[in-house]
Amino acid sequence: MSIERVLGKNSTITVVGLSRDETKYSHIVAKFMQRVGYRIIPVNPTADVILGEKVYKSLLEIPENPGIVDVFRPSEEAFGIAKQAAEKGANAVWLQEGIINEEAKKYAEAKGIEFVQDKCIMKEYLRIHGD
């Protein structure tokens, strides 16, 4: 698995757990990734619009390929999210810093889905592309 490949071949990032709160890390990261050219699809059961985009209540409601499924939820939720990502045909599952789930990793990789865990997508983008 190559982080460069995951970021390079996907233009859409579905953010599971995207907060409306502009001070929360999920919002800061998604806003940055949107600013550098990625399309953001927010998933949050309590919001209607975040970052100018329609919010879906769950990953399964999204009517298109979710691209990279970027997860800002507790580690114990990652396996269920990986299963939903596979059902939706996601290209990658990305668990943010501090989120680790080996069962989700094995499941996603068995389904042919690229998998990253315990890494910040924004920091990895900056590492590859510079500040």
The DSSP code for 75 is: G
Interval 103-127 mean pLDDT: 97
CATH number at residue 122: 3.40.50.720
Over the stretch 74-91, which tens digit does the pLDDT of each residue have? 999 999 999 999 999 999
Domain that holds residue 78: 3-129
pLDDT digits (tens, 9 = 90+) for 46-63: 999 999 999 999 999 999
Q: What percent of the chain has pLDDT over 70?
A: 98
Instruction: Write out pLDDT tens, residues 90-106.
Output: 999 999 999 999 999 99
Asked whether the predicted pLDDT for residue 130 surpasses 90, the reply is no
User: CA nearest 87: which of 65, 54, 114, 117?
Assistant: 65
pLDDT at 43: 98
Give the total number of structural domains in the chain.
Answer: 1
Is the pLDDT reported for residue 127 higher than 90?
A: yes
Q: What is the pLDDT of residue 131?
A: 63
Neighbours of 1 (CB within 10 A): 11
Averaged pLDDT, 16-37: 98
State the average pLDDT for the chain.
96
